[in-house]
Each structure stands twice: as C-alpha cells, then as structure tokens.
Amino acid sequence: MLKTAILLIDCPDRKGIVAAIANFLVHHDANILHADQHQDIDLALFFMRVEFTLDDTRCSEQHFRSTFAPLAEEFQMDWRLNYTDVPQNVAIFVSSYLHCLADLLHRQQTGEFNCNLSLIISNHPSAQALADFHQVPFHYLPVTASTKAYVEAKQLELLAANSIDLVVLARYMQVLSPQFVNAYPRRIINVHHSFLPAFTGARPYHAAFARGVKLIGATSHYVTEVLDEGPIIEQDVVRVSQNDQLSGLMQKGRDLERLVLSRAVRWHLGHRILCYANKTVVFT
Amino acid sequence: MLKTAILLIDCPDRKGIVAAIANFLVHHDANILHADQHQDIDLALFFMRVEFTLDDTRCSEQHFRSTFAPLAEEFQMDWRLNYTDVPQNVAIFVSSYLHCLADLLHRQQTGEFNCNLSLIISNHPSAQALADFHQVPFHYLPVTASTKAYVEAKQLELLAANSIDLVVLARYMQVLSPQFVNAYPRRIINVHHSFLPAFTGARPYHAAFARGVKLIGATSHYVTEVLDEGPIIEQDVVRVSQNDQLSGLMQKGRDLERLVLSRAVRWHLGHRILCYANKTVVFT
Amino acid sequence: MLKTAILLIDCPDRKGIVAAIANFLVHHDANILHADQHQDIDLALFFMRVEFTLDDTRCSEQHFRSTFAPLAEEFQMDWRLNYTDVPQNVAIFVSSYLHCLADLLHRQQTGEFNCNLSLIISNHPSAQALADFHQVPFHYLPVTASTKAYVEAKQLELLAANSIDLVVLARYMQVLSPQFVNAYPRRIINVHHSFLPAFTGARPYHAAFARGVKLIGATSHYVTEVLDEGPIIEQDVVRVSQNDQLSGLMQKGRDLERLVLSRAVRWHLGHRILCYANKTVVFT
Amino acid sequence: MLKTAILLIDCPDRKGIVAAIANFLVHHDANILHADQHQDIDLALFFMRVEFTLDDTRCSEQHFRSTFAPLAEEFQMDWRLNYTDVPQNVAIFVSSYLHCLADLLHRQQTGEFNCNLSLIISNHPSAQALADFHQVPFHYLPVTASTKAYVEAKQLELLAANSIDLVVLARYMQVLSPQFVNAYPRRIINVHHSFLPAFTGARPYHAAFARGVKLIGATSHYVTEVLDEGPIIEQDVVRVSQNDQLSGLMQKGRDLERLVLSRAVRWHLGHRILCYANKTVVFT
C-alpha cells in the first residue's frame, strides 16, 4: 500500500547531508512530494522536512527506521518519522472564553486538521454544550489553588489514558506547573493574546490599551516552564485606533487569537515545526 | 483672501461643545472642509480637529483668536489654531543610517509635506552629500560623552535661530537629555526600530532575532524624558521567517522605519495628532 | 428612560449643517456619544453619523422625528433614526459551505451583533444541525432552474413574515433575481471570495490560482442587480505563495471570508454604513 | 578562490533528481548555503534553487558547466548557473514620476542590490539631477507616436552597448513593442499601480477610486507582449477609506510601488525567481 510519511531532521550542518538523505530515499524508492530545508549559517545547524510516499509492502515503517538509524547516527541527527495515516490525538484545554474552541472544532469538522479531537478539559462548565454538539468527550475539572496539584494529576491521567499527542491551550486561564509542562515538551501549544514579548502575563489587552499601541497582536507558542517565554510559532496583528476602546481591542483580538492558534495547530499536526535555540523553524 | 486653517481642541466632554464650535464657525462664515472628533467616554474627554476656509478680510487670524478665546475658556479648552499658508520649520537629526533621511527628503521634494526643511544636524559627516543635493543646510556636530552638553546647547541654538517647530530624529543614535526634550514637548518625533513596547533600548533587531518573533515592527513616537516611552504615533510590522537572518530583519526593518516615520511627520505637519494620557489621537 | 439612538444623515454639503444638527441635539438635551462626519469635496456631499443618548420621557422618538423633519427638509437630508434597544431581524442564506454561517452564529452568541438571528434559509440540508444547535429556525428550500421563481417568492414570504431587516448571503451560491434584490435595497450583504473587482463570477479561487496572484482576497458588499458590482463594504487579503495549491488558497480564503463578512454585518447592524455613488462610507 | 554560485533548475518531476544534484555537488566539494525546491504536483514539475560555495581552483565554472551538462540533459533540465561575483548590469526606464527611481538608487547605494546600475533612460528630462547625484549615466529620449520605433531602436542599442541583463520599468509610462519585449524575455520588470488583475491599463488609481475599493495595491511583474498580463512577481496592498481622496490613494500607492518593485528587483538579481505557466516561483 502507498503510504505518505514525513521525516523531520535536525543536525549539525555538514557537507553531504542532503545527498545522503536523498540517496537513502531513492534507494528505498520513495517519491518526494515536498522537501524543505533550512540552514542556520551562524550556528552551523541543518533542518529538513521531507514528505514522501513509499510502498509499504516494499519498505515497511520498521524497515525504514532500522535502515535509517545508522545514517542518522553518522550525521548526529535528531529525527522524527510520522505516517499521515495515523492521526494524532489532541486534547483541548479551555476556560470560559470559547471562541478559540469553537473555531478549532469547526476547522476539525471542515477537515483542516489531520487529528482525532479526543478530549476537551475545562475548569468551567460552559464548553459542555459545544463539546456535546461536536461529540467530543468533555471533562469539567474546576481548579482552585488548593486543588491544582490534584487536578493536574487527574488531567495527566486523562491525557495518558487517551494517548494524547498534543495539548492545545485554547484560552485556558490556568498556569500549568513545570511538572505538567515537562511531561509534554513541545507538545503543548498556547495562544497568548498579545504580540509577545510585549505584554506578557495577565490582562495584555488592558496593558496594550493603556500603552496606546496602534496594532494589537496575538501569539501562539510552545509552552515551556517560563510563562510566555516558549518558542513562538506564529504571530499576527491588526490595526487599532482611538475608535477602539478596550472592548474593541478584545473583540478584534479574538479574531487574531483564532487565526494564530489554528495555524499553529495545523502546522504542528502537519509536522511542519522544528525548534531550536528557543525559536521555531516553520516549513509552510 | 481665502485661507485654510486647522483648529485642534482638547477639553472635558460636556453637552453643547460641538454646537458651540459649529455656531462659532457659522457666525464667522467659515466653510468646514473636514471635521473629526473623538470622545474618551471613560475619562470624559473631548477632542476635535476642524479644517476650514475663511475669508481673511472678514475675519483675520487675530480676530478669530480674540473672539474664540472666551468660548475656549468657557469649555476649558486647550486649543491650537494653525493656518496652512504658514509652513512649519523642520529640523532633521540623523546619524550614519541615511535611509529615513533620504526618504524624508524625497517626500518633501514630491510635495508630501507642508513644511520647510530648514536644517539637518548629524553626529556623522556622511549625510552632507544628500543634504547638499537637496539644498538643505547641514551641520556636522560630533558628540562624545564629554561634549554632549555642549553639543546640545549648540543644537538648541540652531533650532532657536531657525525657529524650528518640529525636530525629527531620523535614526539619530544619541539619547537627548531631559532638558533638550522638555524644550520641545511633543515636538520631537523619533522612530524606534521595534514594535514598542517590545524591544526597547539598543539593538532591537538583535533582540527580536534572538527571541524568534514572526513579525518585526517599527514605531514612531513623540520623545519624552523616558526613553522609548513617549506617546506612540504609528506602528507597522512585516512578516519574517527563518529565512531572514539578522541582516534580513534589518533590511526589512528599514522599509518599516521609513513608512512609520514619514506617516508621523505628515500627520504632525497636518495638525492631525492630539496627545493625552501618554497616547495619541490621530485624525487621518 | 435613557435611550441610545443613532442618526444617519446624507445631504448636499452646505454651511451650517453641523451647527444645525448640534443645536437640535443640544435643544433636545441629547448627549452625544460618538459623532463622525465625512465630506466629499468633489461632489459637495455631506455624511454624518451621530450616536447619542436622550431621555425618552422628555423627548420621545415620535417627538424627535416630528421636530427633526422640518430641519431635514431644509437641508435636503436623507436621514435615518434608529434606537439601539430595537434589535434588527436578520436572515442568513447559506449553501453547502458552512464556515461563514458557523462564524456568524458564534459571534451572535458572543454578543458581537445587536440583532435577532430570525431565520436561516438554505438550498442544502446540511446547515440544519448547526441551526438547531443555535436554536435558529431553519428552512430548507432547494432551488432548480425551474423552481427558482417559486422559491424566491417563498423566501420573500418568509422574510416578510419575520420582518427581516437584513439578509446576509453567507456563501449562498444562487444568484438572486433583480426583483428580489430590489425588494431589499442595501439590505442584502454578500461575501465574494475574491478581491473585487478582480475575479468576478464563479470560481474565483481557481481564477486567482491560474493567474498566479501573490495575495488572495475576499470582499463583502451590498447586493445590487449587477452581480458582484454592488458597493464594497470591506475587503481583506492574505499572502499566498507557490506553496499554496488551490486547496491552500481555499483554506486561507475561508478565514478571509469570515472576517470580511462579519465586519460588514457588524457595521451594518451598528448603522455605520452609508452608500453613495456605488461606494460606501464606513464610520468605524 | 572560494566563489559563491547559484544554480536554478526547472525540469519534469521524477524520482532521483534531488539525489542526483546533491551527489553532483558533493562530488565537486561544493558547500550548500541555501537550497529551496518546489514541486507542482498537478503539472509534475520540479524547481530548485541551490546557493553554494566552491573552490574555483578545484572546480572552475567551465568545468562545472561541462560536467553538469550531461546530468542536466538526462533530467531534461532548464538550468542557469550564476556566480555572485559577477554583478548584473541593470538599466532603469523612468518617466516623470521619480519615486521608484529615487528608491532604487538609494537601495543600490545602501548595498541592497548586487548589480551595476549602468543606465537610466527617460522620456522626460526630470530624472537628470537624480541620475547625476548617483553618478549613473542618463539618457533623455523623448517619445512620440511617430518616433517610437526609432527611440526603441536607440534604446536597444544602448542596452546592447552596456550588456544590460535586466531592464526595470520604474513607472515608465510608455508601452514597449512586442519586438522590444521579446528581446529581453523575463528580463524586463514593470511595476503596475494596481492589484492586478484588477484595474489593468491606464489610470488604475482613478479606477480604484471610482469602484470604491477598501484596499489599493501594486504589482511587480515580468513584461510580456500582452500588457499587464505577465507573470506576477510581487503584490502588496494598503488600506484606504473614505478619508482618502484620489490624491490620497496616489500617495499611499507610491509607497506600495516602491516596495513591490524593489522586492522584485532584489529577488531577480538574487536569482530567486523561476517562471512557468505564466506564474512565478519565488524562493525568498
């Protein structure tokens, strides 16, 4: 059977890498659909994404992995191989603002994402109806300062039980603990409602309004231990003026949040993102 | 003779302001060309810009001012009246990057600005040729830590001698002293090569590159005592990716700087900007 | 009771208009919240939008109308007065693409629109579930060449029975007859999936892809007898490249369509749009 | 000596292309700096740009060409090899609007372009001073209907005498004959002051203003026999509103024209553009 796979590579730059990979793929009779590469000249790093089809009966995933491993070792590659016929399992965390959740659910229905939406977790009950309408299991887990550790344990249990590959924080207004974050490195995507690094922390629209900026922004990024400091995946902005009061900023911002979060999710699910030096390389 | 004037008003909001101003203009037989107003509902403030023509022989500037004064007092207005047949005098400060200067000079030649470019002051000699080509007097005033106070005194002298109304910092890489800034309140416009408040201070492109942002920005603002904290006039951004190394950011940024600085200068010269609460109201 | 009203005015430009309106409002003790005006100097036209509060017990709507009428006549005004406590009734027409419908329904739920979503009409059954979830009455009216006249009559009946003020064509893929259009002049908003006037007619994404444009756009406009020629309300674009195949254009375009259609609907419902010379004046 | 070269390839897509090219480069000890590729899946076409350094003493240009030729033939490649130490010769054609010319000259001075500005040709004398300031030879060649053929012959002579590689029409308001265009296929870049294909032909700002668009655009493209129909290289837009009269559109448009034209010139000079199916592939 013809299968489509995506190979992501990250290694020190050195002569012959492209030739080695291309020869390997030719040798296994793979058909390249897309190939993108990036070199960081200063840091002497090489990044590649190759999407290809190959005949499963002639080269199984296991065979590919076992024959590629020595090559990868030779070039000191970090590498990931993913087959597109295995959709990833996604959990969405949300609080009381539902616009990003509603948007993600609609995009999933439209076929924009190659994933299973396995789980919605919220510290508010309000997303229940939306989850039901889209037939996604919903878990209401309220959080207080004293129950936070317990709730996180419960959340991690749900993620594990559902073999979750990606956690999307769709305006989830709780800060996750380092333990939680470290359990899903570069597999938790958050949307922050400002143009980072401007206006980190709480109430960024209030801060932007007070500063009198002429554009407001939104940022999607991987979550790391340090709040709002993870690798940025996507940002976008929209123009505001004196005609926009705080509520106007929030309304315009909601559209931005949906756009930057959905792009980040789509790119992550398409294995289009590589991270290094707290930055992302995005092959769009 | 028919003259065009611009009235800028800033006062507490209260019933009857618009009627009072409109009646005053009707009574003086003024013909409104453009009128814009803004209300800050939270702070109960009112802002207005009216551009109108009136017959100088029937209502001189002096007459307008003396009859408008009691009305302005009644409504506690801050107000400014400017006639467009009196171009403002502008001084440009520049260092070694000349792209903003070249842009401003070309726009002036094209007729985009209603002003006299009276003076170019630089701490580098490199702008001399461009100044000569455009026939704008050029003053080379190198600055060191020890001569800074002396140079600023000299600069202020030149500004005074040329009756300068507006100082444009077109990538002038020296920080002006509070004394200098306070001599020209809201009459010094700077361009900062980042999307403020992100990346204040020196080398913002380096900082943006290190942070891995997906858009870079530029900001034009009035200069206040606190570096990079003055009221923002205009901002714009452009998309960057992993394909843009630091030099690419700088190159794209230069285009942004020219755009946001030139807009700020044009709006200031057109009396389109009002300031309050460290923000600007821009009537475009 | 304190009520909020919006007055929209459109008349030949002439001295004294603003004073006359402002005096009228002062006299009726109205409190101006926002006022915007526009003058077309070439055509000598004047446009105004005033939003104000006034005490209903001291000045009823009827009283306002009867006292304003002579003033309006004197200045040859076209004028409309709307009270914000009377939400407009909106009907959405949709075909098989549901992204704009889903977006409008979510925005309505979020409180972005001041309206009643009274009716969804579709020539496909697929929107039924979404309509049910949002509890909006749904009418499935399939259309063929031979039934078109009959269906339009039925649609008009439904609009009349529900006192519809605004019809939104949310990717409704049927061309409405001139009779239908003329029954709701400037009260039918369409979204066209191109940057008009480029790529009018069917399959604009295909045409844009074939032409190799570097940006794709979407346009919301009032529907007139001539297809895709009505007054443009809003447009937006997004960058595309060789990496975007036709399906990529369509996917990016869906986001644009939602944005430009929702803005047009919000502005129309906020009485922010005036039309003249087949153009719109939008007071945002 | 270490030299930098750029290889552009365009051929039918087929297994093994990347491996063949990569192996060739490894074999000649080239060091890849950047590599980009694009596949048109529908048309089964493959495009590649490789920038690399190689030691001239070990592999001369002649040697590279002669050894690469058989490989190219095997894969039916159209290919171009350019060394970056050989700057291209550029001629700029301009009429009375000088903003694009001034911009290109300044960018050249800033080091943005790797080229010789060999020649400025104009049907108006007004660019003389600017050309002199930048020390670029200037030729004033006025055009009338009756002299057009003669002038084109003269222009072609000048291009030939200066070994011109690229002709940039920087708001040159004369239509070139098919003979002229065919003498420099895909080597003439024009800027059109609209978002093509909207508003082709003369006076696009007037047409955009009349249509009431909410964004105006500019387009840079290769010139072909059919006016405004050549492959689009770059487009950009800026928002306009009722506040922008025709002159405002023109002023905003000038900034767009400079941006889209300068990007096209930079990309062309960097050998970043491939054409097919009347479209461009741009490797930025």
Q: What's the complex ipTM?
A: 0.95
Residue D41, chain A, CB below 8 Å: the answer is: yes
Residue B198, chain A, CB below 8 Å: the answer is: yes
Task: Pick the catalytic residue from A85, A228, A236, A255.
Answer: A228
Picking from D45, D68, D83, the residue at the C-terminal end of a domain is D83
Question: Measured between alpha carbons, how far apart are the two ends of chain D, in Å?
Answer: 27
| Ranges in chain D, pLDDT < 50 | none
- Give yes or no: residues C79 and C98 share one domain: no
CB neighbourhood size of D161 (10 A): 10
Q: Which of C158, C152, C110, C106 is nearest to C137 (CA)?
A: C158
- Give yes or no: residues D218 and D237 share one domain: yes
Give the closest-approach CA distance of C241 to chain A in angstroms: 10
- Give yes or no: residues B173 and B278 share one domain: yes
Residue with tokens 């209907």: D145
CB D137 within 8 A of CB D116: no
- Any alpha helices (H) in chain C, and if so which ranges? 17-27, 61-74, 99-110, 128-133, 148-161, 178-183, 204-211, 246-269
Verify whether the Cβ–Cβ distance A110 to C99 is below 8 Å: yes
Pairing of strands D188-192, D215-222: antiparallel
Domain membership of residue D142 as a residue range: 88-282
Q: Which of A229-238, B55-64, B215-224 has the lowest mean pLDDT?
A: B55-64
Tell me, what DSSP letter sits at residue D131? H
Pairwise CA distance, residues A67 & A64, whole Å: 5
Chain D residues with beta carbon closer than 8 angstroms to that of A22: 16, 18-19, 22-23
Q: Which pLDDT belongs to residue D1?
A: 85
Q: Which of B143, C271, B32, B206 is nearest to C280 (CA)?
A: C271
Give the CATH number, domain containing residue D159.
Answer: 3.40.50.170
Residue B16, chain C, CB below 8 Å: the answer is: yes
Verify whether the Cβ–Cβ distance D36 to A36 is below 8 Å: yes
Total count of domains within chain C: 2
Residue A231, chain B, CB below 8 Å: the answer is: yes
Chain C residues with beta carbon closer than 8 angstroms to that of A243: 284
Q: Which pLDDT belongs to residue C117?
A: 98
Which residue of B99, B129, B251 is in closest CB contact with D106? B99
Verify whether the Cβ–Cβ distance C199 to D196 is below 8 Å: no
Picking from C67, C83, C99, the residue at the C-terminal end of a domain is C83
Question: pLDDT digits over B116-175, tens only?
Answer: 999 999 999 999 999 999 999 999 999 999 999 999 999 999 999 999 999 999 999 999
Task: Give the residue-averaged pLDDT of C30-44.
Answer: 93
Q: Which pLDDT belongs to residue D199?
A: 95
Q: Does position A104 have pLDDT exceeding 90, yes or no?
A: yes
Pairwise CA distance, residues D87 & D48, whole Å: 22
Q: Which C positions 62-121 lie with beta carbon below 8 A of chain A?
A: 98-99, 102-103, 106, 110, 112
Which residue of C213, C237, C281 is in closest CB contact with D215? C237
Secondary structure of residue D108 in the 3-state scheme: helix
Task: Pick the catalytic residue from D228, D236, D244, D255.
Answer: D228
Q: Does position A227 have pLDDT exceeding 90, yes or no?
A: no
Residue with tokens 């000299």: B154
Chain D residues with beta carbon closer than 8 angstroms to that of A243: none
- Tell me the two tokens of residue A277: 């030096």
Kindly report whether the global pTM for this prediction surpasses the value 0.90: yes
Task: Give me the sign of the Cα torsion angle B52, B57, B58, B62.
Answer: positive
Which residue of chain C is at minimal alpha-carbon distance from B29?
Answer: C15
Question: pLDDT digits over B231-240, tens only?
Answer: 999 999 999 9
Which residue of chain A is at minimal alpha-carbon distance from B207?
Answer: A197
- Give yes or no: residues B75 and B96 share one domain: no
User: Which residues neighbour B120 within 8 Å (Cβ) at sequence distance 6 or greater?
Assistant: B91, B92, B93, B94, B101, B127, B131, B136, B137, B138, B139
Counting one residue from chain A and one from chain D, the pairs whose CB atoms sit within 8 A come to 47
Chain D residues with beta carbon closer than 8 angstroms to that of A32: 15, 18, 39
Question: Measured between alpha carbons, how far apart are the two ends of chain B, in Å?
Answer: 27
Phi-psi map region of C27: left, alpha, beta (phi>0 left; psi -120 to 50 alpha) = alpha
Q: Which pLDDT belongs to residue C119?
A: 97
Picking from D83, D102, D123, the residue at the C-terminal end of a domain is D83
Which chains are within 8 Å of A by 3+ CB pairs? B, C, D
Q: Which pLDDT belongs to residue D227?
A: 86
Q: Which pLDDT belongs to residue A1?
A: 85
Q: Which pLDDT belongs to residue C227?
A: 86
Which chains are within 8 Å of C by 3+ CB pairs? A, B, D
- Give yes or no: residues C40 and C96 share one domain: no
Secondary structure of residue A22 in the 3-state scheme: helix
Pairwise CA distance, residues B239 & A284, whole Å: 13
Verify whether the Cβ–Cβ distance B195 to A198 is below 8 Å: yes
**Residue B1 banded pLDDT, cuts 50, 70, 90:** confident
Residue with tokens 């940006």: C215
Verify whether residue D228 is a known catalytic residue.
yes
CB C260 within 8 A of CB C235: yes
- Give yes or no: residues D100 and D190 share one domain: yes
Question: pLDDT digits over A33-59, tens only?
Answer: 999 999 998 999 999 999 999 998 999
Q: Which pLDDT belongs to residue A43?
A: 93
Chain B residues with beta carbon closer than 8 angstroms to that of D102: 102, 106
Q: Does position A3 have pLDDT exceeding 90, yes or no?
A: yes
- Give yes or no: residues D7 and D51 share one domain: yes
- Give yes or no: residues C73 and C199 share one domain: no
Question: pLDDT digits over B94-121, tens only?
Answer: 999 999 999 999 999 999 999 999 999 9
CB D90 within 8 A of CB D164: yes
Verify whether the Cβ–Cβ distance C235 to D214 is below 8 Å: yes
Pairing of strands B138-140, B115-122: parallel
CB D19 within 8 A of CB A23: yes
Which residue of C18, C23, C32 is in closest CB contact with B32? C18
User: Which residues neighbour B282 within 8 Å (Cβ) at sequence distance 6 or greater?
Assistant: A241, A242, B233, B234, B267, B272, B273
Q: Does position B227 have pLDDT exceeding 90, yes or no?
A: no
Give the closest-approach CA distance of B35 to chain C in angstroms: 7
Residue with tokens 């803004």: B38
CB D54 within 8 A of CB D31: yes
Give the closest-approach CA distance of A34 to chain C in angstroms: 9
- Scored b (16 or more CB within 10 A) or e, C50-76 reads bbbebebeebeeeebeeebeeebeebe
- Give yes or no: residues D101 and D77 share one domain: no
Give the CATH number, domain containing residue A42.
Answer: 3.30.70.260
Chain D residues with beta carbon closer than 8 angstroms to that of C236: 215
- Give yes or no: residues A116 and A8 share one domain: no
- Give yes or no: residues A222 and A177 share one domain: yes
Residue C44, chain D, CB below 8 Å: the answer is: no
Give the closest-approach CA distance of D81 to chain A in angstroms: 20
Q: How many CA atoms lie within 13 A of A48 on its CB side?
A: 28
Q: Which pLDDT belongs to residue C177?
A: 96
- Give yes or no: residues A107 and A231 share one domain: yes
Question: pLDDT digits over C233-280, tens only?
Answer: 999 999 999 999 999 999 999 999 999 999 999 999 999 999 999 999
Task: Give the residue-averaged pLDDT of C144-167.
Answer: 97
**Residue A233 banded pLDDT, cuts 50, 70, 90:** very high
Q: Does position B3 have pLDDT exceeding 90, yes or no?
A: yes
Residue B204, chain A, CB below 8 Å: the answer is: no
Residue C254, chain A, CB below 8 Å: the answer is: yes
Residue D38, chain C, CB below 8 Å: the answer is: yes
**Residue B30 banded pLDDT, cuts 50, 70, 90:** very high
Question: pLDDT digits over C164-216, tens only?
Answer: 999 999 999 999 999 999 999 999 999 999 999 999 989 999 999 999 999 99
Residue B195, chain A, CB below 8 Å: the answer is: yes
**Residue C1 banded pLDDT, cuts 50, 70, 90:** confident
